[in-house]
Structure 1
């Protein structure tokens, strides 16, 4: 029996599947069998936001931006506008404030293996729910339902992300706060790490983060992982894969099918000082990506790529 089980796992890996003891691709840190591998019917979607121009923005807001909101570019105007938020009170899937403002949360417990579908169903709920109500977890999909964010959002539109210093936007300005609400806000605000967008031409979904002992620039990149690693390796061999003086390429982490490179940067420098260096790196990356078609990686670049692949970082 043990041999048959081992052979089954081997065949599964050979076919490109996910072994039950491997980390779940959702990023939970659990083994696949204890997470989304628990149900054969619950298929894990590795890249849930693919096809949307907001893909990298949604990943950044879900993975590491603490407090931010953005109005979603819906294909059809519904009963009310919908704002996507990093996190809502009690990590709710959706919330309609007492003033009628409607939100869906990104940093939530998933209902299925496809967070795009979960968010789409939460969005539908938020469009019609009565003010003052919250949805703890996205509704389960109906039999045969295939609704996803890709069906509801303009594919080429981008998000205008607004970062907030705290979570006071959870509550309308004229609402009274009881002691429970005040305590919840206090705890949420205390956990925020200072975060600023890297604003530069050609730069999207890049953020400066002060993690306390050091600062980072985290940049969600839209390219397939192997292609991006090859381009970074080409730059690394030339010594051009950092953000200049006061920076160091730390590694990368995977999130929803994309790679997020991370650079350690000098905490003494203002976040805005990293905008131009990030844009310059973006231009170097674009050139390296273009060169891959005509010029295969050299032996030194292949070794560099293998080294970069092994430099995985963990968020705190």
Structure 2
């Protein structure tokens, strides 16, 4: 008999999946996006559309055209988001087309995403301005439905995925813009690397000031404050340069010196943890 005990806490629930950093970004910082995934042959080799969210907070949707959508931005009720999402996905496959998954139970000892997804399929992200991806391609849209979609889209924070580096997203909040860059490496090592650069005054993203970082799903997401006059092309160029510096700093293994320790303490002091 399967156990119904909640899974033990897993610090990095998406570790081992293609695009771990993007899984975390879609779960935490991107308002409207989809990404590609496919189940293993054992689970039918079925294409899955991973989404940031679904209407009504549904965990999953089996659309009328047969496409299964799995939402990431749902409140986790267990210690392992991967096992919980895998349970939601398997449950969605059992639904009749045109049906949403609205209630879920504890996944117990069932498989994790790493067990049911084909790990050779890249996690290719598409950022959207709204939520038309909820609909089937040829679905008729009534005036009422269009109004509902437009209302939902009105609350979307304009977001652009940088093309030059992995898992970096430029978000515009009114007159303020921020790059939030998810890194799929050990939390403490990345904080050390940023501290090394911060102590050398090299942690800027071009002209953008490093604000701090938050932790989620076991990885760190640094944040930079982007000046309004900076173009996306300039940000892309700066991101490539900073990626080289951060990668080199990650490879350093000498203990932090006094200045670097002070920089690290400052970063940690203003760090936010999202679990």
**TM-score in terms of structure 1 length:** 0.79
More strand by share: 2
Name 1:120's counterpart in structure 2. Answer: 86
> How far does residue 235 in structure 1 lie from its aligned partner after superposition?
0.8
Q: How does 1:8-27 map to 2 (within 5 A)?
A: none
Are the structure 2 counterparts of residues 226 and 259 from structure 1 closer, same or farther at C-alpha, using a change threshold of 3 Å? same
The Cα offsets for residues 220-276 of structure 1, whole Å up to 9 and x where unpaired, read as 11121221111111111211001122x100111111111110000012333333111
Name 2:157's counterpart in structure 1. Answer: 193
Name 2:168's counterpart in structure 1. Answer: 206
Larger mean CA deviation between 73-82 and 120-129 belongs to 73-82
Are the structure 2 counterparts of residues 157 and 279 from structure 1 closer, same or farther at C-alpha, using a change threshold of 3 Å? farther
The Cα offsets for residues 117-148 of structure 1, whole Å up to 9 and x where unpaired, read as 11101111233322110002434325xx2311
The Cα offsets for residues 171-219 of structure 1, whole Å up to 9 and x where unpaired, read as 124323346533431221011111111111xx21111111113101101
> How far does residue 94 in structure 1 lie from its aligned partner after superposition?
0.6
Name 2:12's counterpart in structure 1. Answer: 47
Unaligned runs of 5+ in 2: none
Establish whether residue 93 from structure 1 lines up as the match of residue 59 from structure 2. yes
Are the structure 2 counterparts of residues 275 and 137 from structure 1 closer, same or farther at C-alpha, using a change threshold of 3 Å? farther
Name 2:71's counterpart in structure 1. Answer: 105
Structure number with greater Rg is: 1
Establish whether residue 218 from structure 1 lines up as the match of residue 180 from structure 2. yes
> How far does residue 43 in structure 1 lie from its aligned partner after superposition?
3.3
Establish whether residue 312 from structure 1 lines up as the match of residue 274 from structure 2. no
Q: Structure 1 residue aligned with 2:131, among 150, 167, 171?
A: 167
- Structure 1 CA distance for aligned equivalents of residues 251 and 96 of structure 2: 51
Name 1:72's counterpart in structure 2. Answer: 37
Establish whether residue 282 from structure 1 lines up as the match of residue 243 from structure 2. yes
SS of the residue 1:72 aligns to: strand
Unaligned runs of 5+ in 1: 1-39
Are the structure 2 counterparts of residues 258 and 137 from structure 1 closer, same or farther at C-alpha, using a change threshold of 3 Å? farther
Larger relative CO (CA 8 A, sep 6+): 1 or 2? 2
The Cα offsets for residues 9-41 of structure 1, whole Å up to 9 and x where unpaired, read as xxxxxxxxxxxxxxxxxxxxxxxxxxxxxxx95
Name 1:263's counterpart in structure 2. Answer: 224
Aligned pair count?
270
> How far does residue 308 in structure 1 lie from its aligned partner after superposition?
1.3
Q: Structure 2 residue aligned with 1:250, among 195, 211, 216?
A: 211
**TM-score in terms of structure 2 length:** 0.90
Q: CA RMSD in A?
A: 2.3
